[in-house]
Structure 1
Amino acid sequence: MAILFLIIGIGSLGLSAYFFTRKKTPESLVVENIVKSNEEDFDAVNKQKGNDFEDYMIQLVGNEKGVKLVSRNSDYHKNGVSASENMEPDLKFKSNDVPFSIECKWRKSFFNEEVFFAKNYQIRNYNKYQIDRKQKVFVAFGIGGKPNFPEKLFVVPLSKIAEEYIDENEIKEYQVKTADEIITMVNQ
């Protein structure tokens, strides 16, 4: 029985070596490039949607009297290299010299009455930022419509979010229609 397993193991090793060292055909290279291109296109489309929603929030909040945009993060990440500011909220503002930040998330819709916010380590990063900087952090959820004009907008204090997924019923009370409603929350 041991000899049988030895023969199967050697055969598997030989087969692996063959597939690993064989020359790639033009057809296999085309398929590989298409798969890689589709992944890059998907990432680029998602990044653009995020940028469009951030632009929407900048225009909405930044045009309020007494509000100034302080900075916008680059969200740079490629080949394992990330900007350290990626651990911070997307947008930083001041309202009459009171600093606050907004993390922006646009989603096409709720899924099973929930929306994905962030991974647990990201939530910890945002909470650390809020504590270290002693400033309020909010999460803006644009739901439906287009990233540059969402159907619904929820601006939720970070302190009200503890999980990766947020139930629609938990954030209904934070639905806003105007920038003035957002600024009122900031100043509370």
Structure 2
Amino acid sequence: MLPISLIILGGILLISGIVLLVKSKSIKNESLTQAIAAVKADGILTPKEEKLILEIAKIEGKDGNATIAKIRRDLEESEEDSETELIDVNQKAGLDFEKFVVQKFDKKYFKIRNWAGDKFVDGRYADTTTQPDIQLSLILRGQSYPLAVECKWRSEPNGNFIRFAKDGQLERYKAFAQQENYPVFIALGIGGKPSSPAELYILPIQELKKPILHKAGLGKYRKKIDSDFFFDQESNNLR
């Protein structure tokens, strides 16, 4: 009876040894560098991946906890970089559309007095950041006629409504127009690219009650894409 028990026990130990050997070889076959690269590619460190990295680091004689800590730092920095890239993309789109709008003003007749940069940090920003993007003057027969334009580009919107400003922006632009005593307009580009929108509209601030419009209400403000802007200084109308 005893020999049979020993044989069974030996078989169990042999199988266990084979399993451990296979597992060990499997872990060794994947280097620590490969495991870290896989985690960074996913952008997420799962508990299973963390356990695997600790095991591989132990086999390679490295500090597993330090490795895990570094991976977490790298993932956090990567997330911050992604957010920065998104901000950069949005800023580029805004700037591209502003350039498109500026080129619609014939430099023979219009002078740019201020072109806002919208720079801020930790809630601190210059007073000009809350002002319209572009402040110009029409120079005609020795006289100067000021106006301002806020530039907004939107990709093809879903639904029947288009939001062209954030809450509070419209009120600030109206206050600016009243304080400076000259007209302010919103140049709204829709579709296409910021540098070449499919549609273009000029919205007079004083006619707007909300920062959102139904598509049906945009028609009267539409501007031909291929024509320059004209400012009627007597009626304060930009078209």
- Same fold per superposition (TM over 0.5): yes
**Match for 1:108: what amino acid?**
S
Q: Secondary structure at the match of 1:126?
A: helix
Structure 2 regions of 5+ residues with no counterpart? 1-64
Root mean square deviation, CA, Å:
2.1
The number of residues matched between the two structures is 165
After TM superposition, list the pairs within 5 Å mapping 1:114-125 onto structure 2: 114-125=161-172
Answer yes or no: is 1:85 the counterpart of 2:128: yes
Residue by residue, what CA displacement relative to the aligned partner does 1:64-116 show, whole Å, maximum 9, x if unpaired? 64222221011112232212101110001112311110000011112212222
**Alpha-carbon distance, 1:26 to partner:** 1.7
Structure 1 regions of 5+ residues with no counterpart? 1-21
Q: Which moved more, 1:165-174 or 1:100-109?
A: 165-174
**Alpha-carbon distance, 1:59 to partner:** 0.9
| 8 A contact 2:187–2:201 mirrored in 1 | yes
**Match for 1:81: what amino acid?**
R
Q: Secondary structure at the match of 2:86?
A: helix
Query: Larger radius of gyration, structure 1 or 2?
Result: 2
Separation in structure 2 between the aligned mates of residue 34 and residue 151 of structure 1, nearest angstrom: 35
Separation in structure 1 between the aligned mates of residue 190 and residue 82 of structure 2, nearest angstrom: 25
| 8 A contact 1:110–1:168 mirrored in 2 | no
Separation in structure 2 between the aligned mates of residue 48 and residue 137 of structure 1, nearest angstrom: 23
After TM superposition, list the pairs within 5 Å mapping 1:158-177 onto structure 2: 158-177=205-224
Separation in structure 2 between the aligned mates of residue 82 and residue 155 of structure 1, nearest angstrom: 27
After TM superposition, list the pairs within 5 Å mapping 1:67-86 onto structure 2: 67-86=110-129
**Alpha-carbon distance, 1:183 to partner:** 2.2
| 8 A contact 2:149–2:184 mirrored in 1 | yes
**Percent identity over paired residues:** 25
**Alpha-carbon distance, 1:119 to partner:** 2.4
1:143 is aligned, of 166, 190, 193, to 190
TM-score by length of 2: 0.64
| 8 A contact 1:64–1:179 mirrored in 2 | no
Residue by residue, what CA displacement relative to the aligned partner does 1:46-70 show, whole Å, maximum 9, x if unpaired? 0011011111111111x26422222
TM-score by length of 1: 0.80
Answer yes or no: is 1:32 the counterpart of 2:76: yes
